[in-house]
Each structure stands twice: as C-alpha cells, then as structure tokens.
Structure 1
C-alpha cells in the first residue's frame, strides 16, 4: 500500500506518524510546500513575546528526525499542484529545482490547512505590514522588532490577534487593536467577551471595535498609517494582520472533490471525501457541530490531530468516526483565561434552538485559602430537557478544568441536573466543598 500525504503541521504530520505505527510496510510520502513539516503554530505569538525563548522549541519535528524515526519520505519545498483522482496520481512541483513530476498513490490524505485572509485593502502589501501563520511570518515580525519597532496595530480580534497584542505589550510595545465586530473573541458571548475587553484595556491596549481598516499608508517618517471606516487614523511602527483564515480548497476543487456549504472540503465521519481513495483533515475540512448539527469550520489543532488519526485508522481497516465537534477552546489574555465549549448564544439563535442561560460568579477555590479568584461561568441549557448545550468561563484560575468538565458533560448528553451529582476533586487550594 502506498499513501501520499499532502501537507504537514498538525494534520499531515499526525497522519504520517499514525500510519507508520499501524503499518510498518506501507510506503509513505509526505509532500510539504514549505520548509517546515511540523511546527507549533499555536506557539508563534509566545516566541514573539519571549515566553518561548528558543525558536527551535517550536520545531516539533524536522524532516531528518521524521525520516529517521518513522522511516518514510519527507519532501519539503514540494507542492502537490494537481490530483488525477481517476488514475490515482498527483503532480508535484519541486520549488528548489523548478521541475514537476508525477507520483501515484493507493490512498491520498489531504492536509492543506488554511490561508490567512488578506482583503483587497489599499496599501495592504506595504512595508512593515505582516501576517502570522508560519515560522517565516514570525521571523519577519521578530526582525522588525530587532530593528527598533516599538508600536503596532493589530488587525483582527480572534485568537491570534489577541495573543499577538498581548505578547507585543509584554515586549514594551504600544498596541492598538482593530476589530470589525463589536467584540473580540467571537467564540464568546458579548457579556463574557467584556471580561477580555477589560483585561486588555487594563494593560493599555487601545481597542477600536465595530470599525475596520479602509487604507494602509506609509508616512514620511516610515511608519504605518491606518485609516478606519469611522474616519479615525492610527500610526505605528508596524501592523500585524490577524483577520482570520480561509480553507485551502483549490487543489480539492480542481480534482472534482465535493466542497461543502461552508466552503471547506466535505468529508464523512470517516474523514473520507467524495472520492473513495482520498481523505481530508484539518483546517481545510468542514465538520458537524455536536450541539446544533450544523456544518462549521473549526481551525484548531486538537480536532486536526484527531481527524488525522481517524482517517489513517480507516485506511488501515480500523473503523473510526469523527463524532462531530464541540469547538472546545481556551485563550490566555494576559492573566485572564477565557474558555468555551459547545454552542454559544448566537450559534443557537442561528440554528433556532431554544435555550436558557445561567451565570455564576464563584471563587476558583476555597475563599479562606490564599489567592482565590472569581470565576465567571455561563451555562447554556435546554429549557425543555435540561441538557447542557454550552458553557463559557472567564477568570484568573480554574477556567480550564471547569470547561473540560462541562465539555465531557456535553459529549455524554448530561443535563444541568446531572451536574449537581458530579463528584469532583476537592482540597482548599484546588476547589470548593460546595
């Protein structure tokens, strides 16, 4: 059996490693158009801020290490440019030599990922305007910092935008953040996102919400000038675009694979595309939301890794299914943690699902033990059945474990009445006896 894997990082690298563990004889080739096959892209902002000091710590696997450890071919700077699904062949371009060649497969695993959104804003390709998606992107930002940049405009208030803003503040930058929506971190409901707003403002980040960039310009002094739709103007030494990502579907579309309603690759629960020999995983695919049963895109590392293992299990004859996604996620906003699982209020409204909410404000552990902080927890549930539909939490301690417990409850169909019967770990430094 011969398997070709298109793309590395979370999905592709996990697929290749899992495949070798299940089949010692399988011929495996991974093609990656960039230099790095497996890197911690979630850690990029933290190297910029200095929390991760060594750049090499982000390189999870090198081609040499992967080849030596797993005994398969790793081809960097090689891009699969077309797929002949009928004859089970791919055309591959070697970007170093410029040559193009064909390779055949029994099964193909697509993990092309997603590309940063770059809208057609005048001046967006100007000097000192960066994106952050890859190691080279990060290197450019670090180089600008070493040249003396001390202020930045971050465009976009999602995970990456908020993390970049925080880490630039940690390096002594003056930071402005522009977000088109009326809140940052739209996986949270507005009332919960307000805690993140307060934390960011307390660390001197200037928030420009419900506004958007209409033009980038270079000033006479070499700075980046941004004009907003509101008429406001901001200047800084550099700008970082974190507007979001779009699934890379060009290759799949040209191969005749079905594209789903969200614009991502349609796959079955086995991660199989519309072609019986082609699987797809990661940021480029659409999946079903566990609560609403609607199709969504979920560009997160955890689901990508799990999808890769499921796809490979099925290739090797081990029946496995990706049983929908809950979108469980968490983000650090300076000392504050913001986490969520299941469906948010806006998502439930769009799906016409009835719900009620309950918000609690309780200590992270026993109040008489030092350093007990308030945790703000919002529970979303069905008024008819009591089934837990979602949860969000913000606080300085204990957010992750609360979200993880409720994520498990949602997965197993628990109700709000079931939650009171859960027996959780308690000692004064860790929780409350009530």
Structure 2
C-alpha cells in the first residue's frame, strides 16, 4: 500500500507538469519518511556530501568553455577549414557539417551548443548550395547529437559521477563509437548527394583558413591530450578549457571583450541553476537506494526474468529508447544509470561499455518527439515547424539506431583503447 501511495504521488506530479527538481525532491523526502528513519535532514546531508565531489566542478566549467567558444570565432574558424577541405567530395558541404559538429563537440561537450554554433553557419550554407531543406535540417540536428558522445561530454561526466565510473575511461571509450557515428553520417551524406556538384580545393584559401584556426584546432588536443596522458584530471582539463577559450577569444582572435565574459558566465549560471539541484537530489536518492540495497534486489529480480546477456541488452535498449522519447538525457541518466548499471555488471557487461551504450541510446532521444531537445532547439534557431524538423530527422534516427546496435554488440569498439 505504501508503494502505491508513493507511485501515485509521483505520477500526479508528472501529470501536473511539475519540474524535475520538484519531483525528485518529493521522491527523496517520501523515501526517507516512508522507508528510512523518518529524518528529512538526511536529504540535506546527502546533498552536502554530493556537492563535495570535486569532479562536479568539471560540468559548469566545460559548459562555460563551450559557451565562450560559441559566442566567439573558434567555431567559425574550424568550420572554414573542413568546409574548404571537403569541397572536392560529392556532398562535401554535408560531410563538412558532420565533421564540424564532431570537431566542435570535442571542445564544447554539449549537444545544444554544437547545434547552435555549427547550425548558424552551415544551415544557410547548405541551402545556398542547393541541398534540400529537409536534408539540411535532419543532418544538423543529427550532427548536433555528437556533442553528447564525443569527449569531453557532459552526459558522460554525469554518468561517471552517478555510477562512480572512471570519467577518464568513459572519455576514452567514447572515441570509437563517436568515429563510427561520424562515418555512418558521412557515408549517408555522400550516398544521398553523390551527383552533387563539386569544386576543386582552393589550396591558398585552405592554407589561410588553417593558419587562422591553429589556436582553435589546438583546443581539443590540449583538453583530450591532457586527460588521456594523465597530466590533467577531467576537472583540471575543464578549468584549462575555460582559461584557454577566454585567452584565445579575447586576446588572440579578439572576437570578444572582457565585459562579454560576464554575460556568458551569467548564461552558464542560469543553465546550472536548473541542472545542479536535480543532480544533488538524484544523488540523495541513489544514496538511499544503495543503503536499502535496491540495486541488489533488482539484480535478483531481473536475473529471474532474463537469463542471458543478450536478452538484458535488448531489454535495456528498449527501456532507454522509451525514456529518451519522454525525458531529457540528464534526467534519464540520473534515474536509470544507478538502476541499470549494477544489473549490467551482474551479466558481465563492463560498466564503461554500458555507459557508452546508455549515452548513444539516449542520444537518439534528442531527435525523437515529443521532447527531442535538438528538435526543439532547431525549431527556434531555424524558424521551422516542429513536425517538419521531426520528419526531416527520421532517416537520421535510423542511421543512429544502426550505430547503436553496432556499439552495443561490439564492445571492443568502446574498450579497445583501454586494453
């Protein structure tokens, strides 16, 4: 009876369209009141303990670095290089869009920042070059999703924090699947636009664009090289990213002023104001579940229903795809990560590999109605109807599903760099 009351309250809050922070706050309070020691101060203590995790500092810092680069010229300089370099290939501008999203994702760590920064430049360029509006919309929305799998990815950091998995290992494991998705999108673009007009590579222009983008191109080398070499922790690399982005944009490129940094910092703070409280409450719920051995009980129940690793993976894919349609990726990770990861480990699935599976799966949720975040962002950025964009994204959803299946059942794609 108590569980029915708990579920009824949570469902009522969802139907009333309450914010996730309210839903998680009520859930945490009810868990401790109904099944804990009845002390709400435990929630506060859990939040305090969660806030003491150093790695959490990397989240606001990477978001701030991405916002600085989106406001400055780093994005446009990198895009110029790949745009000129692919001009000789059929569908080269489309491939340049995919590569631009991949490169910018490696320095922003955010899907929405990638979509806005790259889309603002490449969407009109694709239309002017004769690409169909539907293809251009779908390609940019799909390319923007690369921001959540290519390190330094904010969702990968969230998964690492919530499941206590090495963030550095997750970053390394994300490289293989990210390259696979880039390849799939590029091959599709090449095939669809095989008869498109091409032009010779303008080598002087390419040299000039490369010269102008040298400081921008060094950004992913600095961040990822520092992490993979062990010289930086993820948190330290995030701090370096902010310092380097500000240094390049203000003093080298001179596309921003010092006063502009204040506005960018303010925008970042507003984003964090909605994310951090949710994360803290989710960690409190996780602490309660660990104390009450909820994951262990779920492992036993799941083992009785699903007897094989393949069966569990297929079931997990279905659950994650469903959640991705109705829940933003951060919320899905915070809720499902602590529940599914222990079960995955019981089937012999590496938690790092499962984290990549989860992120790639939820990545597709950015393109699925009714709450696909990239669809909503694109609707405002490109002034197109929501369902027009959703229809344009459909073939790219199928391509991402292909990448998901390969990533899921070929673990070495994620883990070969860790061995």
TM-score by shorter chain over 0.5: no
Question: If you compute each CA radius of gyration, which structure gives the higher value, 1 or 2?
Answer: 1
TM-score by length of 2: 0.31
TM-score by length of 1: 0.30
